[in-house]
Amino acid sequence: MGSSTAPRWARSVRAAAVLAVLAMLLGMSPTGALAQEWAPPTSVYVEATGHTVNEPFLAVWRKHQRHLGDPVSEPVKRKLEIDGVETKTRTVQYFENAALIQTLDDPRGDRWDVQALPLGESALDHDYADRRVTKADIRRTATCDGLGSGDCRVFDETDHTIRWGFKRYWENNGGLQLIGLPITEEFTTKGGWNVQYFQRGVLKWTEERDVVPSATGKRFVLAENIRTTKIKRPDGIPVYEESIFTEPVGGIAEVEERDGGVTSGPGPQQGAGKEIVVSVSEQYMWAYEGNEVVIETLVSTGTAEVPETTTPQGFWSINTKVDVQDMEGTISGEDYFVADVPYVMYFDGTGNALHGTYWHSNFGSPMSHGCVNLPMDVAAFIYAWADVGTAVTVI
C-alpha cells in the first residue's frame, strides 16, 4: 500500500497587503474595527431541504446534525402537552429525525434551552397498534446480564437498558436531551433491522450499516399538519456552511491561492489532533495535523440529484477502514456496481466513505453517490495516515 504524498496544489499567502490598503482607506488600524464587527450568524438557510435554522435551535443542530438530520419545516408556534413541561405555546421545528422544542423546563433540572419532542413514544404507540411491535419486544429487562458498564446501562426510570452500539450512539448524540430514556429493549424486526425505541426517537442498525436514527421527524411532521414546502432563502440569511462560523483573521479571511482561483482555507473544525475537512461547495479536501495541512486535493462529492446521492454535511469520524471492496446498491430504482474500490474509509454511519477512485479523473466536480472520491495517490496517503477515529468534517 503506497504512502507517498502528492505535491501540494496550493501555496498560502497572507492578506496583509489587502488588509493594509483597506485600513488606510477606512482610516483604521489593521486589527481594529473590522475584526470587532464580526459575529457568527444566528440564522442559516439549508439548501438541501429549503428551510432555515435559527437560534436557539441552530447551536443544537450544528452540534448534532448526524442525529437530527436537516430541517423539514420552518419554526412554528404550537401549544403542546408534554410531561414535566408547562403547557403553553412554544416554538417547535421538525427535522428529518426529530422535532425540537424551545423550553427551559425540565423535571430533572438540567434546564435545557432546547430538547426533542417525544416522537419515539408516538412511534411506539402507532407501531404497537399496528402490531409491528409486540409485548415481547417491550418487555422490561432492568439488568445488564453481566455486561460491564462500558457495554450496558440500566435506566431505573423505565426498567430498560441500552447496550453496545446503541449505548455509544446515545452517549455521543444528545442522550437524554435528544434521544431520551429507552422505552423498549433492542429487538430485531421482520425486515432485519435491530431496533430500539426511546422517548424522543428510534435507533436502528444492521450488519451492513452502523447505528442510525429512524426518520421520526419526517414521519410525524405531516400528521401534525406542519407545512413542509421549501421556502426561498430570506434576504440576509447565509447558506449554511460550517466555515461561516469561523472568525476571519483580523476581520478579513486568510486566503489561499491555487490553480483555478483564490479560496478560503477553512482550518480544522473539531479541534482534533488529526482532521480531514471536505468542502462540498469547493469540491476540495484538506488533511490537518494540528493546524498544519499535510495534504490537500480536489475531490468529487455526491451529485445531490436525490437525497441518497448527497454528501452529508456535519462532524464525523472514520469508523471503519477497508483495504478494498466491491460497492453496490440501488438508487432511484437504478442498480450500480463498482468493483475493487480501494482505500475505503467510512465516516458517517450511513455508508458514505472517503475512498480511492480509479474510474474517473474529473476531480473538482460532483460525481459520486454521496461518498468522497479521492485521487488514488491521495487516498493511499490518507488511508495510511488516518486511523479509525480520525475526525472528518464536511462543510
Nearest 10 degrees: Cα torsion 123, 125, 129, 130:
10
Mean pLDDT comparison of 68-77, 287-296, 299-308, highest-scoring range:
68-77
Q: Which residue has the higher pLDDT, 65 or 26?
A: 65
Regarding whether 203 and 60 lie in a shared domain, the answer is yes
Q: Which residues of 176-192 are buried (b: 16+ CB within 10 A; e: fewer)?
A: bbbbbbbbbbbbeeeee
CATH code at position 289: 2.40.440.10
Distances (CA, A) of 264 to 35, 182, 192, 243: 17, 44, 45, 9
Q: Answer whether residue 300 is part of any domain.
A: yes
203 and 79, same domain (yes or no): yes
Q: Per this entry, what is the length of the chain?
A: 395
The verdict on 200 and 335 lying in the same domain is no
**One domain, residues 74 and 193:** yes
Grid cell 482607506 — which residue?
A: 25
153 and 268 belong to one structural domain: no
**Predicted local distance difference test score (pLDDT) of residue 45:** 94
Count helices and strands in the chain by DSSP H and E runs: 9, 24
Residue 158 has pLDDT above 70, yes or no: yes
Q: List beta partners, residue 53.
A: 44
Record the pTM: 0.56
Q: Which of 206-210, 256-260, 290-294, 305-309 has the lowest mean pLDDT?
A: 256-260
| pLDDT for 307 | 81
Q: Are residues 200 and 256 in the same domain?
A: no
Q: Are 116 and 214 in contact (CB under 8 A)?
A: no
Statement to judge: residues 60 and 114 lie in one domain: yes
Is residue 331 within 8 A of residue 306, CB to CB? The reply is: yes
Share of the chain above pLDDT 70, in %: 81
Q: Does 370 fall in a domain?
A: yes
The confidence score (pLDDT) of residue 390 equals 93
Please compute the mean of the pLDDT values over residues 143-166 and round it to a whole number.
88
Sign of the CA dihedral 291, 67, 174, 56? positive
Starting at the earlier edge strand, list the strands of the sheet with 261-264.
Answer: 10-13, 255-258, 261-264
Question: What SS3 class is residue 300?
Answer: strand
Q: How confident is the model at residue 21 (pLDDT cuts 50, 70, 90)?
A: very low
The answer to whether residue 107 scores a pLDDT higher than 50 is no
Looking at per-residue confidence, does 376 or 29 come out higher? 376
| Together in a domain, 139 and 278 | no
218-233 b/e (C-beta count within 10 Å ≥ 16 → b): bbbbeeeebeeeeeeb
What is the predicted pLDDT for the residue at 104?
A: 64
Q: Based on the domain organization, do 205 and 327 belong to the same domain?
A: no
Residue pLDDT, tens place only, 294-345: 888 899 998 888 888 889 888 989 999 998 888 887 776 777 788 888 999 9
User: Based on the domain organization, do 212 and 256 belong to the same domain?
Assistant: no
| pLDDT value at residue 253 | 37
Query: Checking DSSP bridges between strand 274-279 and strand 391-394, what pairing results, if any?
Result: parallel
Mean pLDDT of the chain: 80
Q: Quickly list DSSP for 93-151.
A: EEBSS-EEEE----TTS---SEEE--HHHHHHHHHHHTTSS-TTTT------TT--TTT
Confidence class for position 142, pLDDT limits 50, 70, 90: confident
Note down the domain range covering 179: 43-221
Element (H, E) at 66: helix 65-68
Q: What pLDDT is attached to residue 382? A: 93
Asked if residue 10 is part of any domain, the answer here is: no
Please give the DSSP secondary-structure letter assigned to residue 234: P
What's the confidence (pLDDT) of residue 265? 62
Q: Is the pLDDT of residue 84 over 80?
A: no
Q: Would you say residue 24 has pLDDT above 50?
A: no
111: pLDDT strictly greater than 80 = no
- The H or E element containing residue 68 is helix 65-68
Of the listed ranges 161-175, 187-201, 233-247, 252-266, the one predicted with least confidence? 252-266
Q: Which residue has the cell 448526524?
A: 66
Residue 273 banded pLDDT, cuts 50, 70, 90? confident
Residue 108, pLDDT > 80, answer no
Burial of 248 (0-12, 13-18, 19+ CB in 10 A): middle
The better pLDDT of the pair 230, 27 is held by: 230
For range 145-160, the mean pLDDT:
88
Tell whether 107 and 182 lie within a shared domain.
Answer: yes
pLDDT band at 58 (very low <50, low <70, confident <90, very high): very high
The count of domains in the chain is 2
Does one domain contain both 195 and 256?
Answer: no
> At 67, is the secondary structure helix, strand, or coil?
helix
Over residues 102-128, the mean pLDDT reads 76
Mean pLDDT (whole number) for 122-135: 83
Look at residue 63 in the predicted model and tell me its pLDDT.
87
Give the residue with greater pLDDT, 96 vs 172.
96
The three cell numbers of residue 346 are: 467510512
> Dihedral (C-alpha) 208, 210, 214, 218: value to the nearest 10 degrees?
-90
pLDDT at 278: 92
Give the rounded distance of the alpha carbon of 88 from its chain centre. 31
